[in-house]
Structure 1
Amino acid sequence: MPRTLTTWLLIAAAAAIAVLPVLIGAADHLPEPFPGADAEAEEAVQRIDPDYEPWFTPVYEAPSSEIESGLFALQAAIGAGIIGYCFGVLRTRRRLERSGAPGTRAAEASAPGGGPGAKRGGAAR
């Protein structure tokens, strides 16, 4: 299968995963259509132990759920950017090593007298 077709199929699958729950009304029975895991956990704790008192308060509490959701999306985007950058660096490094570009291990190993075990500077003893 050509790479471009695979790419478009993956994009279509990701879009379907994102859109289908909204179209079929997966959260219609809930009071809030997209409750977070925190809200569901809080409800579960209240059902199990109604007298439970939280021992920690958040450092920052967003004034609305929209702002909280936006901050979460920003955090996810920053994390995805960092992970993408790391993958890009590793992939480029591997490509350069395979091509034998200057400054890579492959180029040093192929140079006369080079390589990781070669002695540098001075006469042999």
Structure 2
Amino acid sequence: MTEHVWSYKSTSGHLAGGDLTGYKVEAIDGDIGKVDKHSDEVGDAYLVVDTGVWIFGKEVLLPASTVIQIDLEKKKIFVDRSKEQIKNAPEFHRDKHLGDAGYREELGAYYRPVTPAGGQPIV
């Protein structure tokens, strides 16, 4: 199951109903782009990030659980994945994938935290 992947962590600083459009997004190793679209829907929260020239102008879909901090003053969102992990995620096409349950399951499985027996999630 990957439902938890589509929810913001309680420690992220996310405020329901806030507009994150235009916020810069930072991976653990640098800038990846800006939020083009987002959803706050319970169990279906995500960010669509326009990567600009970083990966040839493509968009990426990040489940809300990847967000570790939102800085409202600086309009910046920090995620707990590397640029390489994000670049290697299943390819996203807005028109094809936003409403596709199969893609959502595939992406959720890719981003789900890996937990060793009795340990903390590894990201």
When normalised by structure 2's length, the TM-score is: 0.26
Structure with the higher fraction of residues in helix conformation: 1
| Bigger-Rg structure (1/2) | 1
Instruction: Between the two structures, name the one with larger relative contact order (CA 8 Å, sep ≥ 6).
Output: 2
